[in-house]
C-alpha cells in the first residue's frame, strides 16, 4: 500500500499489511530531475502538475510541465496486483531544440518496521541497486533506462541526526559526492539514472521497489521484474483493475460524474482492504500530528459498512475474508472490541473498562451488531450456505445472544455503550437502530437454518427494542427523536435532544420506515439545523462539533461538513422520492460529493466549511463506502421511478 501527498511525493509505504507497518513512517521519499544545470524535486513550483488515475484503474497518472526545465513528464505508479512490487514509470519529453542529458534522482527514506533505528542500506553490485533491511523487512530498489539496468550513481548516508537531512540534498547539484556503499542506523539512499533526449524526443525509465522478508526473497522478485519487464507488470495491473471494477449495478441513469466517482470509490475502497480481510479506516499518516495515533485500524462498524457496499456491488471473495477476520476476533462473551490492527491484534483505545469502581464493556455495540447485518446481506445476495456454515455459531448466534442479553433492565433498550462518534457513553439512537437490525438479521438466519425457537427469541428482543425506542426516545415536545437516553440505577430516564446526523441509524437499517412521520420530522429538523450555510454546504455531525473545528459560528456552521453525514441525507431523499423530480435532491448531493472530491476522486473524512479543503484523513474508506451505498439506492430508485412513469 503506497500513499502520495498533494505534491505527489511518496509518503506512506505499508508492508506486509495494508496499514501495518509503515516502512517510511510518513516521511517523504523524494523524486527529482536535473537537466542543463537546473534541478527540481517533484514538489517544486517549477512543475505544474495534474494528479489523477489512469482511467478506471489503480495506476496513477501524474502529468507535469516545467517551463524552466523545458520538459513534460508523465509518471505512472502502481502496486502490482499479485506481487509485492511497486513500479514507477517515468516518461520525459524534451521541449528544447537541442539534444540533452537528463538525470532522474529517486530517493528512499526508510523507517523499517515503523522506525529509523537500526536500518541498514547497501548498494549491491550484483544488480546495481539498493537493499534496505532490518530484521525481516527487506526493500530492494532497482531501475532501468535505455535498456541499462541499475543506477548510474548513488548516495547512501545518514539522516535525522547530527544535522544531516539526508542524501537527497546531495542530489540537488546533479552530482553525488564520494560516499559509502553501506550505512546503518538512521539512513537513506538516493539513486541516479541518466537518459539522453533528442530534440522533441520522448524517453521512458522505470524504477521499482520490491518487498520481502529476506534477501533471497527480494532478489528473486527483482529477477522476476527484470525478466518480465516493468512495463509488462504495469500493463497487467492496469488491465486487472479495469476488469475488477466492472459490476452489474446499473448506474447509467446517473450523471457521468457520479458514475466516475462510483467506480473510483470502489477502487479506493479496495486499496484499504488488507488480504487478511481487515478493512482499514484510513492509511493517511498525516493524522498522527493531531493525536499521535492513526486511523490504520479496522473498526468493525466501518468494515461492516464497507462490506455491505461491496456486497451490493457483487464482490463476494473480499467480503468473505472480512467475515473470516471478524470470526477470529469475537470475545467469549460475544462482542467485538473498539478496533483492531490489520494483523488481528487489538488496537489502541480510549474506552475504559472501569467506571464508578465497576467493570464496564469498552465497546460500541453497533460494531458487533452491524457485522451480523453485513453477513445477512452476504447470505441474502449469494445464498452461500457452505461459507456461512462455520460462521453460523460464532457470528450469528454468539453475537446475537450478546445483543439480546446486553439490555438495560428498566427500558429493555440496548445497555449503554459508546456512541457512533466514540465520544459519549449512553444508549444512542444509532446503536439502537443497528442492534435492532442485528437481531432481526439473526432471526432471519436462524429461521433459514431451522432454529425457530432461537429465531423467535431474537425477533422478540428486536420487537421490544423498537417498542422501547418509540416510548423512550421520541420527544413529544420537540416532535423529534432524541440523540440518546441515559437511565439511572433507579430507572430515571434523561434524554439528549441534540440533533445529530447519527440519528439516521433509526431508519438506515430498517427499524423505522424512512417515511414514518416521526422519522420525517426528525430528519427535517436535523437537516435544517446541521446543513452548513456557506458555499461549501454539506451536513455536520452535530452542533458545535469540536473535532478539527474551524468555526465557532454555530448559527451558520454547526460543524465541519462530513461526507458520510451528507450522503446519509442523499440516501434518505432517495428512499423518500416519489417522482424523478424529487429524486433530483439526492442526485444533487451525489454531485456535491463529486465536486468536493480531490481531482483524483479521493474523498476526505470532513471538509473546511469555508474553503472545502480536506480535513483529517483522505481518503476515508467510510466516505467512499457511503458514496457507493447512496449511489446504489439512488440508481435503484431512478430505475423504479422511470418504470412507473
d(CA 190, CA 178): 13
- How many Cβ atoms sit within 10 Å of the Cβ of residue 533? 12
Which CATH number is 294-529 given? 1.50.10.10
In three-state form (DSSP H/G/I as H, E/B as E, the rest C), the secondary structure along 457-519 is HHHHHHHHHHHHHHHHCEECCCCEECCEEEECCCCCEEEECCCEHHHHHHHHCCCCCCCCHHH
- What gap in Å lies between CA 349 and CA 22, rounded to an integer? 20
User: What distance in Å separates the CA atoms of residue 497 and residue 433, rounded to the nearest whole number?
Assistant: 17
**Which residues in the chain come in under a pLDDT of 70?**
289-291
Judge whether 364 and 431 are in contact, CB under 8 Å.
yes
Sequence ranges of the chain with CATH classification 1.50.10.10 = 294-529
Question: Could you give the CA distance from residue 594 to residue 519 in angstroms, rounded to a whole number?
Answer: 28
Residue 14: strand pairing partners: 22
What pLDDT score does 289 carry?
A: 58
CA–CA distance, 344 with 32 (Å, rounded to integer): 38
- pLDDT at residue 290 in the model: 57
Strand partners, 103: 34, 194
Q: Are the beta carbons of 602 and 619 closer than 8 angstroms?
A: yes
Q: Convert 305-319 into a string of H (helix), E (strand) and C (coil).
A: HHHHHHHHCCCCHHH
Q: How far apart are CA 95 and CA 70, in angstroms?
A: 5
Cross-strand bridge partners of residue 77: 88
**CB of 288 closer than 8 Å to CB of 24:** no
Distance between alpha carbon 510 and the CA centroid of its chain, in Å? Answer: 26
What is the reported pLDDT for 183?
96
Please give the CATH architecture assigned to the domain spanning 2-219.
Answer: Distorted Sandwich (2.70)
**Which distant-in-sequence residues (6+ apart) come within 8 Å of 345 by Cβ?**
none
- Phi/psi-derived region of residue 299, left when phi > 0, alpha when psi is between -120 and 50, beta in every other case: beta
Distance between CA atoms of 618 and 207, rounded to whole angstroms? 26
3-state secondary structure 130-167: EEEEECCEEEEEEEEECCEECCCEEEEEECCECCECCH
Nearest to 319 by CA among 267, 377, 405: 377
DSSP bridge partners of 475:
480
- Burial grade of 596 (CB within 10 A; 0-12, 13-18, 19 or more): buried
Using an 8 Å Cβ cutoff, are 281 and 298 in contact? yes
Question: Which residues touch 66 (CB under 8 Å, ≥6 apart)?
Answer: 33, 40, 46, 47, 48, 72, 73
Phi/psi at 386 (nearest 5 deg)? Answer: -60, -35
Interatomic CA distance for residues 571 and 539, integer angstroms: 13
Tell whether pTM > 0.85: yes
pLDDT tens, residue by residue, 248-295 = 899 999 999 999 999 999 999 999 999 999 999 999 988 775 567 899
- In the three-class reduction of DSSP (H, G, I as helix; E, B as strand; rest coil), residue 355 is classed as strand
Cα–Cα distances (Å) from 215 to 58, 75, 124, 139, 491, in that order, read: 28, 28, 11, 9, 65
- Using one digit for the tens of pLDDT, what is the confidence trace for 179-220? 899 999 999 999 999 999 999 999 999 999 999 999 999 999
Q: Measure the CA–CA gap between 627 and 575, rounded to whole angstroms.
A: 15
Comma-separated ranges of CATH 2.70.98.10 domains in the chain: 2-219
Residue 131 grid cell: 537493499
- From 397, 504, 381, 410, select the one nearest 450 (Cα to Cα): 397
Q: How many CB atoms within 10 Å of residue 7?
A: 17
Which three cell numbers, joined as nine digits, stand for 46?
517549477
Q: Helices 256-271 and 230-244 sit at what angle, rounded to 10 degrees?
A: 120
Cβ proximity of 441 and 388 under 8 Å: no
- With vertex at residue 461, the alpha carbon angle to CA 279 and CA 467, rounded to the nearest 5 degrees, is 105
Question: Which of 295-299's residues contact partners 24+ apart within 8 Å by CB, and which partners?
Answer: 295/617, 295/620, 296/14, 296/19, 296/20, 296/22, 296/341, 296/342, 297/19, 297/339, 297/340, 297/341, 297/342, 297/347, 297/348, 298/325, 298/339, 298/340, 298/341, 298/342, 298/347, 299/338, 299/339, 299/367
Contact 273, 638 (CB under 8 A): no
Cell 502490482, residue located? 80
DSSP 612: -
Taking the C-alpha atoms of residue 261 and residue 270, their distance in angstroms, rounded to an integer, is 14
Amino acid at each position: 500500500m503506497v500513499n502520495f501527498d498533494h505534491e505527489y511525493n511518496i509518503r506512506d509505504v505499508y508492508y506486509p499489511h495494508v496499514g501495518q507497518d509503515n516502512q517510511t513512517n510518513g516521511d517523504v521519499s523524494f523524486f527529482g530531475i536535473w537537466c542543463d544545470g537546473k534541478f527540481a524535486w517533484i514538489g517544486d513550483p517549477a512543475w505544474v502538475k495534474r494528479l489523477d488515475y489512469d482511467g478506471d484503474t489503480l495506476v496513477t497518472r501524474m502529468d507535469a510541465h516545467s517551463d524552466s526545465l523545458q520538459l513534460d513528464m508523465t509518471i505512472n505508479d502502481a502496486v502490482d496486483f499479485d506481487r509485492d512490487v511497486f513500479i514507477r514509470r517515468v516518461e520525459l519529453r524534451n521541449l528544447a531544440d537541442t539534444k540533452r542529458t537528463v538525470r532522474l534522482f529517486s530517493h528512499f527514506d526508510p523507517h523499517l518496521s515503523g522506525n529509523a533505528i537500526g536500518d541498514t542500506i547497501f548498494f549491491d553490485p550484483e544488480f546495481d541497486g539498493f537493499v534496505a533491511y532490518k530484521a525481516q523487512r527487506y526493500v530492494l530498489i532497482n531501475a532501468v533506462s535505455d535498456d541499462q539496468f541499475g543506477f548510474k550513481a548513488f548516495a547512501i548516508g545518514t539522516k535525522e541526526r547530527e544535522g544531516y537531512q539526508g542524501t537527497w540534498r546531495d542530489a540537488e547539484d546533479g552530482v553525488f559526492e564520494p560516499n559509502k556503499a553501506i550505512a546503518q542506523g538512521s539512513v537513506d539512499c538516493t539513486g541516479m539514472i541518466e537518459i539522453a533526449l533528442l530534440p522533441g524526443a520522448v524517453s521512458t525509465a522505470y524504477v521499482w521497489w520490491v518487498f520481502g522478508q529476506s534477501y533471497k526473497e527480494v532478489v528473486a522478485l527483482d529477477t522476476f521484474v527484470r525478466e518480465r519487464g516493468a512495463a509488462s507488470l504495469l500493463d497487467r495491473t492496469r488491465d486487472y483493475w479495469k476488469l475488477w471494477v466492472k459490476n452489474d449495478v446499473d448506474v447509467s441513469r446517473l450523471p457521468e460524474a457520479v458514475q466516475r466517482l462510483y467506480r473510483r470509490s470502489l477502487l479506493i475502497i479496495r486499496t484499504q482492504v488488507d488480504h487478511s480481510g481487515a478493512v482499514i479506516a484510513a492509511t493517511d499518516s498525516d493524522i498522527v500530528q493531531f493525536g499521535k495515533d492513526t486511523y490504520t485500524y479496522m473498526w468493525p462498524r466501518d468494515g461492516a459498512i464497507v462490506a455491505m457496499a461491496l456486497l451490493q456491488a457483487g464482490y463476494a471473495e473480499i467480503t468473505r475474508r472480512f467475515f473470516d477476520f471478524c470470526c477470529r476476533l469475537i470475545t467469549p462473551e460475544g462482542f467485538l472490541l473498539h478496533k483492531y490492527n490489520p494483523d488481528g491484534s487489538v488496537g489502541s483505545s480510549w474506552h475504559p473498562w472501569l467506571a464508578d469502581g465497576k467493570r464496564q464493556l469498552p465497546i460500541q455495540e453497533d460494531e458487533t451488531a452491524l457485522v451480523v447485518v453485513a453477513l445477512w446481506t452476504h447470505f441474502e445476495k449469494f445464498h452461500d450456505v457452505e461459507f456461512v456454515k462455520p460462521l453460523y455459531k460464532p457470528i450469528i448466534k454468539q453475537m446475537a445472544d450478546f445483543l439480546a442479553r446486553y439490555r438495560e433492565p428498566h427500558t429493555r433498550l440496548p445497555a449503554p455503550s459508546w456512541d457512533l462518534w466514540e465520544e459519549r457513553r449512553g444508549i444512542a439512537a444509532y446503536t439502537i437502530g443497528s442492534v435492532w437490525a442485528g437481531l432481526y438479521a439473526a432471526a432471519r438466519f436462524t429461521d433459514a437454518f431451522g432454529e425457530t425457537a432461537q429465531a423467535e427469541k431474537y425477533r422478540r428482543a428486536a420487537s421490544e427494542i423498537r417498542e422501547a425506542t418509540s416510548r423512550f426516545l421520541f420527544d413529544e415536545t420537540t416532535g423529534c427523536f432524541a440523540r440518546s437516553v441515559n437511565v439511572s440505577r433507579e430507572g430515571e430516564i434523561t434524554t439528549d435532544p441534540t440533533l445529530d446526523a447519527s440519528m439516521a441509524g433509526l431508519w438506515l437499517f430498517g427499524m423505522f420506515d424512512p417515511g414514518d412521520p416521526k422519522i420525517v420530522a426528525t430528519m427535517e429538523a436535523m437537516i435544517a439545523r446541521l446543513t452548513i450555510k456557506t458555499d461549501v454546504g454539506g451536513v455536520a455531525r452535530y452542533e458545535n462539533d469540536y473535532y478539527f473545528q474551524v468555526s465557532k459560528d454555530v448559527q451558520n456552521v454547526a460543524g465541519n461538513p462530513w461526507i458520510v453525514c451528507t450522503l446519509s441525507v442523499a440516501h434518505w431523499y432517495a428512499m423518500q422520492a416519489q417522482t424523478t423530480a424529487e429524486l433530483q435532491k439526492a442526485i444533487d448531493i451525489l454531485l456535491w460529493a463529486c465536486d468536493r472530491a480531490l481531482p483524483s476522486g479521493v474523498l476526505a473524512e470532513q471538509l473546511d466549511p469555508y474553503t472545502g479543503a480536506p480535513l483529517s484523513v483522505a481518503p476515508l474508506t467510510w466516505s467512499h463506502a457511503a458514496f457507493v451505498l447512496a449511489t446504489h439506492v439512488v440508481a435503484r430508485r431512478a430505475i423504479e421511478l422511470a418504470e412507473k412513469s
